[in-house]
Amino acid sequence: MNETQGQARPKLACRVNGSPISAEVEARTTLLDFLRDRLHLTGTKKGCNEGACGTCTVLIDGKRMNACLTLAVQCNGREVTTIEGIGSTDALHPVQQAFITHDAFQCGYCTPGQIVSAIACIAEGHATDGDTVREWMSGNICRCSAYPQIVAAVLDAAGTTEARQDA
Amino acid sequence: MRDFAYSVADSLDQAVAADGTRRMLIAGGTELLNWFRLGVAAPDHVVDLAGIEGLRAIESDGERLTIGALATLAEVGEDRAVRAHAAVLAQACLAAASPQIRNRATIGGNVLQKTRCAYFRAEEPLPWGCNKRHAGTGCAALDGVNDRHAIFGWTEQCAAVQPSDPAVALAGLDAEIEIAGPSARRIIPAAAFHLTQREAADLGLDPAQAETRLQPGEVITGYRVPIRSAARSAYVKVRERASYEYALVSAAAVIELDQGVIARAAIALGSVAQKPWRLTEAEARIVGLPPTREALLPVLKQCFGDARPLADNGYKIAMAAGAAARAIVEAAA
């Protein structure tokens, strides 16, 4: 045992999709479990839970990261954006619309992570051509293997001329 | 995952109190959280380094690069000075993991990751042993699945390899690792930081469990990379899929050319041992050769006399020689 055992649980204060969040969490709680189980934001999926599949991808201070490899308490003071914070049913985000246009999903399980990752990929300037998109989207696995359509959607949303040929 | 107390260190003094077992440090957490889930580590207290000022900077004074331990792999890989003076390190950082992980994982923590050996990483209890996971249970890889394992420096206790990409580049660059401890600071050459199982045994340590020269309570604070104005460098990572995969083998080459031939060379290999493996014999023998595959490959292939392949990893000798040749050719290009 050590000096902090028995003390109150760590406090977490952050913003999730623009709303202030204040909570006590067990230190071991991952951001992924906190989002899904405490905030009921289940759009962020739990695939491998070890950083191998990317389906838990969220933005933390605008950068894409795996929520399963992040402790919730590490997000203190940070801004977290999940798929629920992107677009709306009335006004889809351009990346969401591009995924529909290009039929870039089959079962859909990886899609929230793909879309969040794609938004960051485009913002980083890594959606320039098919090879670059394949490299910079490699952290998101699609077991239905809709990769050609995903690459086309990302290029289309980025406004890249290669979009149509690539699929 | 067992729960633990959590605190944010705001000075190195608080960080160096961690013993690495009951009290552990977290930076990005991309590796540590998986250790917790597997039960490889189960600390009482986790101390977050994120609050420590000044450990994230990447700077160049013209003679050397200094890279703070908390710089992420993405930050190191995209840094203008790193790309200009240590291309091999930028390439290695961007060849590691995925964009998401590179945004969290730090250059300090990266070199402390553990092997990807399937027996060590087993999620469920297996009927086979792993001395690294549970001391004294044996090494199932020696007579089992060992195609990803070491060809250098292994012992009967363990044949795991260190999978870090940046560590290979740092070893090839003759970088130094800055370390703070409870009572003193010290420097360890990057090429000597990790231990092969044989080296650990020779130091009287557990050959399966001792992986680095870091002592309990010590923390990596950064790296110093010497800048050689004439040096060119490149990293080649060979893997079973083109991206987001660990290396089968990798090679870092740092060379200087004089009138079209190699005047100086440093070659470090990855995923062939539990440390970045400097190919010192080859470094001497290729001086004077042109940087072409035809000239280099026959010589490089002769420099694996110390290799002791296991049943299924003999391919690594030819692959590593080829990767080294390609890295030199790409560095010279």
- For A63-95, how does the pLDDT look when each residue is reduced to its tens digit (9 = 90+)? 999 999 999 999 999 999 999 999 999 999 999
Residue A27: pLDDT over 60: yes
Instruction: Give chain B's domain count.
Output: 1
Q: Does A49 sit within 8 Å of B44, measured CB to CB?
A: no
- Give the pLDDT band (50/70/90) at residue A2: very low
Fold annotation for A11-85: Ubiquitin-like (UB roll) (3.10.20)
- What domain range is B250 assigned to? 236-332
Give the angle B159-B160-B161 at the CA atoms, nearest 5°: 125
Q: What is the ipTM of this complex?
A: 0.96
Q: Is position B122 within any domain?
A: no
For residue B5, give the nearest of A27, A65, A74 by CB distance: A27
Stretch (H or E) spanning A81: strand A79-81
> In this complex, is the C-beta atom of A68 within 8 Å of any C-beta atom belonging to chain B?
yes
Given a cut of 50, whether residue A1 has pLDDT beyond it is no
CATH 1.10.150.120 fits A94-166, yes or no: yes
Domain ranges of chain A: 11-85, 94-166
Average pLDDT rounded to a whole number, residues B226-255: 97
Please state which of the ranges A1-10, A56-65, A109-118, B47-56 shows the lowest mean pLDDT. Answer: A1-10
Count of C-beta atoms within a 10 Å radius of residue B183: 7
- B187 in any annotated domain: no
Q: Name the maximum alpha-carbon separation found in chain B.
A: 61
| SS3 state at A65 | strand
State pTM to two decimals: 0.96
| Tens-digit pLDDT profile for residues B245-300 | 999 999 999 999 999 999 999 999 999 999 999 999 999 999 999 999 999 999 99
Name which of A1, A63, A116 to mutate to probe chain B: the one with the most chain B Cβ atoms within 10 A of its Cβ: A63
Please indicate if any CB of chain B lies within 8 Å of the CB of A97: no
Q: Do A70 and B29 touch (CB under 8 A)?
A: yes
| Best of B24, B45, B100 to mutate (most A CBs within 10 Å, chain A) | B100
- Give me the helix-helix angle, A111-123 and A94-101, nearest 10°: 120
A100 has a chain B CB within 8 A of its CB: no
State the DSSP code for A38. I
Confidence at residue A163, expressed as pLDDT on a 0 to 100 scale: 54
Contact A2 B37 (CB under 8 A): no
Closest CA to B331 of B240, B265, B241, B242: B265
| Residue A154 · residue A122 · CB < 8 Å | yes
pLDDT exceeds 80 at position B192: yes
Residues of A in contact with B28 (CB under 8 A): 69
Output the domain CATH number for residue B318: 3.30.390.50
Pairwise CA distance, residues B206 & B172, whole Å: 27
